[in-house]
Amino acid sequence: MTFILAQIFGLLATTFNIIGVQSKKKKQILIFFIISNLCFAINFIFLKSYTGAIINFIAAIQTFINYQYERKEKTLPNYLITIYLATVITCGVAFYRQVIDILPIVCSVLYTLTIVQKKEKNIRSLTLITTILWLIYDFIVGAYTATISNIIFCISNLIAIFKYDIKGKRKKRKRRNGGK
């Protein structure tokens, strides 16, 4: 039963990730990333993959703090980014059990760098890299629904990159050049 619940939470998490990355505004992206990280943490708890669980729980807290700064239109202080990085690395090492546990630690560092980005384009690009690494981890630890969902999320992320960052950039350039 716990395996099935883990797969359900993995599916929910990825659904929220997809909604987030398809969102146009950073605040919306962050809200869905908070929910997604909480769902992934629960997913990994059911799978007894505690490194993945703690990393996702910390990511949810980081994202919530970043959301509060974004909502108030304030810049996140550098010391907070340093605290984020130290926390995820320390917790990752504390829960480290096997070589594969390095992936969530790397993902958490990349995620920390992702959510402090100002431009949505950079968020989407770093999220794609992080998702590929999580996909590998998910498959190895048995989070199969999350693995499949992350493949779908990668595709969704690529669509968002094309839609907002490539195609959207072309449209802006055309408007600046008088429609030429």
At CB < 8 A and 24+ separation, what contacts does 20-28 make?
A: 21/123, 21/124, 21/127, 21/153, 21/156, 21/157, 21/160, 22/156, 22/159, 22/160, 24/120, 24/164, 25/120, 26/70, 26/120, 26/123, 27/67, 27/70, 27/71
Q: What's the total number of domains in the chain?
A: 1
At residue 142 the predicted structure's pLDDT band, cuts being 50, 70 and 90, is confident
Summarised one tens digit per residue, pLDDT across range 46-58 is: 999 888 898 889 9
Summarised one tens digit per residue, pLDDT across range 37-83 is: 999 999 989 999 888 898 889 989 999 999 999 899 998 899 999 99
Q: Which domain holds residue 50?
A: 2-176
pLDDT of amino acid 167: 83
